[in-house]
Amino acid sequence: MRTVVENAAIATVSGPEYRTGFVVVEDDRIAAVGPGSYPGPVDERVDASGCLVTPGLVNTHHHLYQWATRGLAADHTLFEWLVALYPVWGKLDADLTHAAGTAGLARLALTGCTTVADHHYVFPSDGGDQVAALAAARERIGLRLHLVRGSMDRGESDGGLPPDRLVESTEDALLGTEAAIDRYHDASPGAVLQIAVGPCSPFSVTEQLMTGAAELARRRGVRLHTHLAETRDEEQQCLAETGCTPAEYAEKLGWLAADVWLAHTVHLAPAAIRRFGETGTGSAHCPTSNGRLGTGIAPVRDLLDAGAPVGLGVDGAASSESGGLGEELHQALLQARQRGGPTALTTREALWLGTMGGARCLGRADELGSVEVGKLADLALWDLTGLNYAGIEDPVAALVLAATPPLRRVFVGGRTVVADGRLRSGEEAVIAGELATASARLRER
Ligand code: ZN
């Protein structure tokens, strides 16, 4: 099957931009890209007049289950917010996680996202098969999922924040993570589902779990992820307990390396930023969530200058209620310029963060993140024909600076997931209904 997307502006991200050009999709890969029109034979033509074609966006940090717990603790600090929400999350079961995951993935598809890293660290003792629930949600919506099998082993009785019933023993956490790798991790080219290892955060897990997770990930050849250096409170606690900043603690435990990407990394000393660059440690920058919780502005410019990979994330919908990735391009640009001035991040760099930067964080830069021959056909066709965009000279500026545009199409591996602004891989009304039922059930518990 050969499809040509034609008459569109194209931002390839890795190479040239075309004011009017084409992309040929053959099965699940990009077969050709260039200016003007495509002369060869095709089976299907997609008219993308007035659209900007970009790589599908890559979301490097999410907690899909939180789609069912939005709008709570709306005026709280991170630690207050966690203490308020843990008891609610403790009531999750697999059906709730499936409904929330399906809705969260649908929302992401409708905002140009084609690959999602979901950090799932909530495994209530009576919560059923959480990993299977998320894998099934992925199957329904058709996005690529990097499922980070998370864990917590430090409950209230050990000085942690989560209630004890929400945490696992260190051994169970590692066994459960390895079981997820055995069952779901696909290391082959074009994979739609991969597993990563992700203790929740240094302040909610023991040192044994941090080091055991790193050992497990390296033994199995999968990637490592956790939250790091999100707030000043976390830094104070880490200094008090370990004598190290969060970044120093991470390095001591083998967690600054090219197979690691870390959520937030807001509070980093210059020496830590240098170490991120030297080691190739990635950052999942989540500007909306950081703004919602008032945690500070991540040093994105400095990380990029140090040579460290930086991607974008929406973070969980309990701290980023919109859950859309397109608007994070906008937020990343605004926050970088608020921190570092008007030249701190260009519109093209914001798009790079949301595509190639994310692909590098997830170890998929050879297959994802740019519109290049041989890469997977994960594409977003942003429709710039409406009132919000009419007359904007530069289509990339329209995408990054204006409201998130609707999508004429979203392809994942050549398969249409969104068309004409509507989800094609599922019924939005059905998914919304399932979520409403699940959320009501959660509130009644
Ligand atoms: Zn998070």
Contacts of 105 (CB under 8 A, 6+ apart): 64, 116, 137, 138, 140, 141, 143, 145
Ligand 1 centre to CA of 272 (Å) is 20
Ligand 1 centre to CA of 48 (Å) is 35
Q: Quote the pLDDT of residue 253.
A: 98
Ligand 1 centre to CA of 315 (Å) is 5
Ligand 1 centre to CA of 258 (Å) is 20
pLDDT tens, N- to C-terminus, the chain (445 residues): 999 999 999 999 999 999 999 999 999 999 999 999 999 999 999 999 999 999 999 999 999 999 988 888 889 998 898 888 888 888 999 999 999 999 999 999 999 999 999 999 999 888 999 999 999 999 999 999 999 999 999 998 988 888 888 899 999 999 999 999 999 999 999 999 999 999 999 989 999 999 999 999 999 999 999 999 999 999 999 999 999 999 999 999 999 999 999 999 999 999 999 999 999 999 999 999 999 999 999 999 999 999 999 999 999 988 888 899 999 999 999 999 999 999 999 999 999 999 999 999 999 999 999 999 999 999 999 999 999 998 899 999 999 999 999 999 999 999 999 999 999 999 999 999 999 999 888 888 7
Ligand 1 centre to CA of 316 (Å) is 6
Ligand 1 centre to CA of 119 (Å) is 7
Ligand 1 centre to CA of 16 (Å) is 34
Query: Which phi and psi angles does 190 have, rounded to 5°?
Result: 80, 15
Contacts of 128 (CB under 8 A, 6+ apart): 93, 94, 95
Does the predicted model carry a pTM greater than 0.75?
yes
Ligand 1 centre to CA of 429 (Å) is 27
**Domain annotation for the chain: domains and CATH numbers:** 2-55+371-423 (2.30.40.10), 57-361 (3.20.20.140)
Ligand 1 centre to CA of 201 (Å) is 9
Distance from C-alpha of 252 to C-alpha of 347, rounded to nearest angstrom:
36
Contacts of 393 (CB under 8 A, 6+ apart): none
Q: Quote the pLDDT of residue 161.
A: 84
Ligand 1 centre to CA of 124 (Å) is 18
Q: Quote the pLDDT of residue 167.
A: 92
Q: Is 443 helix (H, G, I), strand (E, B) or coil?
A: helix
Q: Quote the pLDDT of residue 321.
A: 87
Ligand 1 centre to CA of 291 (Å) is 13
In angstroms, the Cα distances linking 281 to 41, 143, 195, 197, 345 are 44, 25, 18, 15, 20
Distance from C-alpha of 420 to C-alpha of 94, rounded to nearest angstrom:
32
Ligand 1 centre to CA of 312 (Å) is 12
Q: Quote the pLDDT of residue 273.
A: 98
